[in-house]
């Protein structure tokens, strides 16, 4: 048997508890090696968040994990108790969400939240955890961290809040980072800065990343491999260079066809997506 990857998802099937006939993920398999960055790309509703949340053991209660396996650094997530999951979350795996405002507590200072996260996983004094929080905020580019550590989430801009979320996610140096559309809510300039920050942090700390996005161009700039997801299935998986230059699946071609570049012929219509290019019979 091969050594466990940082993440091994095998033939994962997920459905709705209330309806046996509804299946949302149809046998998804993903393996992530140490230090690898994989882009999970697909349209809205394809199952990207469901997959990411399931890895963290945070799938919504209406969801039923029917079969398959999710192993994080060799530990099975499916069927783990909350206590076991808490040990994995933060220390081995962490997640950055699309909307930092809904994942930060609005009535606690960001410093307190980072300190809590650190102390939930490490036996360190409050003073040392606070110093670590200040260092972390500095390392993610939050200005004047000695003072802003005591600010509340609403006192930060959207980009700065996302930096705070990143600081919290990396606070216990997880091996696996799940980033679910971490920059979608941000303007393009802030998006570029956050992506650069993420890239540097991931390299410095040797983390493995699942980067979830509907933007294949963004995924290609950050990831060495791309898994294309559609309707609850991975329809194509491969090295970024190969996929960007020779996509095999019609859906991947449609995603690439909808990228707008400055050398696009203005007389050619933009492809709207899979509906324009779907093969007869509806290839997945
Ligand atoms: N709590 C829930 N109850 C029932 N169905 C759900 C729930 N959450 C997600 N789903 C369904 O699961 C499928 C996948 O949703 P998911 O949120 O994973 O998509 P996504 O790829 O992340 O989309 P987006 O790009 O819009 O974030 C959709 O059909 C959605 O309706
Ligand atoms: Mg989503």
List the residue whose alpha carbon is closest to atom 19 of ligand 1: 45
The first and second tokens of residue 35, run together, are 């230090």
List the residue whose alpha carbon is closest to atom 25 of ligand 1: 44
Q: CA-to-CA distance for 252 and 282, rounded, in angstroms?
A: 14
Asked, for residue 141, whether it belongs to a domain, the answer is yes
Asked, for residue 163, whether it belongs to a domain, the answer is yes
Q: Evaluate if residue 28 carries a pLDDT over 90.
A: yes
Ligand 2 centroid from CA 123, angstroms: 34
Q: CA-to-CA distance for 2 and 157, rounded, in angstroms?
A: 45
List the residue whose alpha carbon is closest to atom 29 of ligand 1: 45
Asked, for residue 132, whether it belongs to a domain, the answer is yes
pLDDT at 146: 97
Ligand 1 centroid from CA 24, angstroms: 8
Residue ranges of E strands in 116-239: 176-180, 208-213, 225-230, 233-239
Contacts (Cβ under 8 Å, ≥6 apart) of 231: 26, 46, 47, 284
Helices 126-139, 110-121: inter-axial angle, 10-degree rounding: 120
Could you give the dihedral angle defined by the CA atoms of residues 164, 166, 172 and 178, in that order, rounded to the nearest 10 degrees? Answer: 150
pTM: 0.88
User: For 50-97, what is each residue's pLDDT tens digit?
Assistant: 999 999 999 999 999 999 999 999 999 999 999 999 889 978 999 998
List the residue whose alpha carbon is closest to atom 31 of ligand 1: 45
Tell which one of 45, 46, 62, 185 to mutate to probe ligand 1, the residue whose CB is within 8 A of the most ligand atoms: 45
User: For 168-194, what is each residue's pLDDT tens digit?
Assistant: 999 988 999 999 999 888 888 888 989
Mean of the per-residue pLDDT values of the chain: 89
Q: Of ligand 1's atoms, which has the minimum distance to the CA of residue 43?
A: 25
Q: Which domain holds residue 105?
A: 98-173
The first and second tokens of residue 163, run together, are 């930096």
How many other C-beta atoms are found inside a 10 Å radius of the C-beta of residue 173? Answer: 14
pLDDT at 60: 93
Q: Please check whether residue 258 is in contact with residue 273, taking contact to mean a CB–CB distance below 8 angstroms.
A: yes
User: Residue 279 — pLDDT band, cuts 50, 70, 90?
Assistant: very low
Between the alpha carbon of residue 105 and those of residues 53, 74, 151, 258, 281, the distances in Å are 19, 32, 12, 37, 48
Asked, for residue 64, whether it belongs to a domain, the answer is no
Q: What are phi and psi of 258, to 5 degrees?
A: -90, 0
Q: Which of 10-24, 151-165, 265-279 has the lowest mean pLDDT?
A: 265-279
Asked, for residue 277, whether it belongs to a domain, the answer is no
The first and second tokens of residue 29, run together, are 């398999």
Asked, for residue 179, whether it belongs to a domain, the answer is no
Asked, for residue 237, whether it belongs to a domain, the answer is no
Tokens 């033939």: give the residue. 11
Could you give the dihedral angle defined by the CA atoms of residues 183, 188, 193 and 195, in that order, rounded to the nearest 10 degrees? Answer: 40
Q: CA-to-CA distance for 214 and 155, rounded, in angstroms?
A: 29
User: Residue 271 — pLDDT band, cuts 50, 70, 90?
Assistant: low
Total structural domains within the chain: 1
Pocket of ligand 1 from Cβ distances under 6 Å: 16, 24, 42, 44-50, 60, 62, 214
Ligand 2 centroid from CA 214, angstroms: 9
Pick from 170, 237, 218: nearest CA to 9: 237
Bin 139: left if φ > 0, else alpha if -120 < ψ < 50, else beta: alpha
Angle at 23 between CA 70 and CA 98, to 5 degrees: 60
The first and second tokens of residue 158, run together, are 């959207």
Q: Evaluate if residue 117 carries a pLDDT over 60.
A: yes
């Amino acid at each position: 048997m091969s050594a466990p990857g940082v993440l091994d998802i095998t033939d994962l099937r997920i459905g709705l508890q209330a309806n046996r006939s509804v299946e949302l993920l149809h046998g998804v398999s993903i393996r992530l090696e140490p230090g690898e960055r994989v882009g999970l790309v697909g349209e809205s509703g394809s199952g990207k968040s469901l997959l990411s949340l399931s890895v963290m053991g945070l799938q919504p209660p209406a969801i039923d994990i029917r079969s398959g396996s999710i192993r994080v650094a060799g530990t099975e997530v499916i069927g783990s108790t909350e206590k076991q999951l808490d040990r994995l979350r933060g220390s081995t795996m962490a997640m950055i969400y699309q909307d930092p405002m809904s994942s930060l507590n609005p009535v606690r200072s960001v410093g307190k939240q980072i300190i809590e996260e650190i102390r939930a996983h490490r036996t360190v004094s409050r003073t040392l955890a606070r110093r670590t929080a200040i260092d972390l905020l500095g390392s993610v580019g939050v200005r004047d961290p000695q003072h802003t550590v005591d600010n509340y989430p609403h006192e930060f801009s959207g980009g700065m809040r996302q930096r705070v979320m990143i600081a919290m996610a990396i606070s216990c140096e997880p091996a696996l980072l799940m980033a679910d559309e971490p920059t979608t809510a941000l303007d393009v300039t802030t998006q570029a800065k956050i992506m650069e920050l993420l890239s540097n942090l991931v390299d410095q700390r040797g983390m493995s990343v699942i980067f979830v996005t509907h933007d294949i161009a963004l995924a290609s700039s950050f990831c060495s491999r791309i898994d294309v997801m559609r309707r609850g299935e991975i329809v194509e998986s491969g090295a970024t260079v190969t996929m960007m230059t020779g996509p095999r699946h019609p859906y991947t071609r449609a995603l690439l066809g909808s990228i707008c570049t400055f050398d696009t012929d203005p007389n050619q219509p933009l492809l709207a997506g899979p509906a324009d290019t779907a093969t007869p019979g509806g290839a997945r």
